Amino acid sequence: MTPTAPDSSQIIKGLCELALLSLLKDRPHYGLEMLHILRTEAGIDLADGTIYPLLHRLAKAKLVQAEWRLDQDGARPRKYYALTSSGQRELAVQVEQWRKVSVALSAFLSRKHKS
C-alpha cells in the first residue's frame, strides 16, 4: 500500500485518535501491531513514528494505560496499551460525534444542485 499523500493524510490523521481508541476497545495492543491493523483494516497508512506521540498523549489524558510485557517467546519486550474506563467513555462520545458529522457531511456531499 502506498502511504497517503501528505495533504490528504491530514484528514485521516485527525481521526487517528478515534481509530486508536476503537482498536483498543477489544483487547490491549502494542504499537507495531496497532499500525498493522490500522493499515490493513482501517486503510490508515501512518508513518511508524506517528503513533507513539498519539499513544503518549492518550496515556497522559488517562484514556489508555500502558504496561510492558514480554512476547510469548520471552525474547521481546513490548509496551501494550489498554483502554481505561475514561477511554471507553471518551470513545462513546467521539463515535457519536463522528456519526453526526459523517451523516451531515454525507448529506451535504450528495446534495443535488437546484437548477
Partner 1 sequence: MSPDPTSIQNPSEIQNWLRRFKWSLAAIPSPERDDIVAEVAAHLHESLCAGKSPAAVLHQFGSPENYAPYFIDEIELSSALSSQHSGAMIAAVLNRVHRSAIAAALGIALLFLGAIFFTALTAAFLKLWDPAHVGLWHHGRLFFIGKIDDPASARELLGFWLYPCAFVAIALSWLAGRFVLVHGVRSLAQKERFTAPKLA
Which residues sit at the interface with partner 1, rule CB under 8 A?
3, 6, 10, 13-14, 16-17, 31-32, 47-50, 52-54, 56-57, 60-61, 68, 76-79
Compute the least distance from the CB of residue 27 to partner 1, in Å. 19
Residue 5 CB, shortest distance to partner 1, in Å, is 12
- Closer CB to partner 1, residue 37 or residue 54? 54
CB of 31 to partner 1, least distance (A): 6
Backbone CA torsion sign across 80, 43, 36, 55: negative
Q: How many Å apart are CA 71 and CA 79, to the nearest integer?
A: 10
Residue closer to partner 1 (CB basis): 53 or 108: 53
Neighbours of 9 (CB within 10 A): 16
Burial of 105 (C-beta count, 10 Å sphere; 0-12/13-18/19+):
exposed
